[in-house]
Structure 1
Amino acid sequence: MPSFHRAAAAVIATLALLAAAGCDPQRISELQPGVSTEADVRDRFGVPENTWNEADGSRTFEYNRQPAGQVNYMIAIGADGKLIAVRQVLTPENFAKVQPGMAMDAVRRLLGKAAKVVPYPLKDEIHVQWRFANARNEPQVFTVVQGPGALVLRTETGPDLDAPELKGGK
């Protein structure tokens, strides 16, 4: 019976995440840089997945929509507690910044939490994947291949074979 409860909780959490992600454009439209406060951001988005303190006293909140969604947000809050910017970070420009030799901590800071992590112990590699939609709104996966020392070996981009659209569902 406990495994049933865990499965039910996982389904409920996934549905809640999908519902929350669908509301993101509305939530973002309600925020105004220089006017909205940290409390306004938290009221609309909840507790961030991660918070980074910046050198200038500002903070960056990570709001992750993986594994079910195709976006991750970084929301910058100034030292004065006011919203600076909301950025969707799963973009070709950010993917291009991920280079061989880069530390995986820096990749996490750039892209947010990944959708999936797949270890390949015999190859001494870990494939870290983010789901996103390309410019044609096609489901894609950006993969960072991590090698020894938690450093980037290479990156790959391809179709998201787990996307409902590619499995015959919608």
Structure 2
Amino acid sequence: MLSRLFVLVLSLAVAACAAYSGHGLAPGVASEAEVRATMGAPAMQWELPDGGRQLAYPRGPAGFHTFMVFIGADRRLQRTVNVLDTPYFARVQPGMSQAEVLQLLGPPQPQWSEYFAARDELVWEWRYCDSWGEAARFDVLFDGTKKTVRSTQSWTESQKSDRRIGCAR
């Protein structure tokens, strides 16, 4: 009885991990329908010029990942990437539109987005796991009128509290 319970719990844990990141879905093999069945409905999606599709799977606010899933014109999985990472943050440049940032990083956490009237500035924020395994935040600061990127900033959560919060990359 106890061994059956252990197997059941282990199976559920493995299934939860697969649903979270899509781990186990093979590029070139898994269909878009299988991706959606495993990972759920995407928060956002875009039709791509080549006939493919891009699906966004943010796993916050407590999570540290947003997975972008790229589906080919043949409706097969091409690749899955976590975009909440330094190389993707480096692609955010002054002058980019909000739509471009959304397609690059996925939706920000709504509860952490804020408009500052005195500066006419809108700030969007994402939580991520930095290179040292510490919980961190990435902010994109937009011109409130033009709706384009002014600047970006990153900071660890320990900078605003007295304790270091670890995370898994």
Distance change (3 Å), C-alpha of 1:139 and 1:168:
closer
Q: Runs of at least 4 residues of structure 1 off by over 3 A?
A: 24-27, 161-170
Partner of 1:113: 107
Partner of 1:159: 156
Partner of 1:28: 22
Partner of 1:145: 141
1:65 CA displacement: 1.2
Identify the range of structure 1 (23-32 vs 59-68) with the bigger mean alpha-carbon deviation: 23-32
Partner of 1:14: none
Distance change (3 Å), C-alpha of 1:52 and 1:165:
farther
- Aligned equivalents of 2:153 and 2:93: distance in 1? 11
Q: Indicate conservation of the 8 Å contact 1:27/1:44, yes or no.
A: no
TM-score (norm 2): 0.79
- Aligned equivalents of 1:76 and 1:133: distance in 2? 22
Give % identity. 33
Q: Indicate conservation of the 8 Å contact 2:141/2:150, yes or no.
A: yes
Paired residue for 2:98, among 81, 104, 121? 104
The answer to whether the aligner puts 1:133 opposite 2:101 as a matched pair is: no
How many pairs were matched up? 150
1:98 CA displacement: 0.7
Q: Indicate conservation of the 8 Å contact 2:83/2:104, yes or no.
A: yes
SS at match of 1:29: coil
The amino acid that maps onto 1:122 is A
Distance change (3 Å), C-alpha of 1:41 and 1:121:
same
Unaligned runs of 5+ in 1: 1-18
Q: Indicate conservation of the 8 Å contact 2:20/2:39, yes or no.
A: no
- Aligned equivalents of 1:80 and 1:50: distance in 2? 20
Partner of 1:15: none
The amino acid that maps onto 1:136 is W
1:26 CA displacement: 7.0
Partner of 1:90: 84
SS at match of 1:119: strand
Unaligned runs of 5+ in 2: 1-12
SS at match of 1:108: helix
Distance change (3 Å), C-alpha of 1:86 and 1:168:
closer
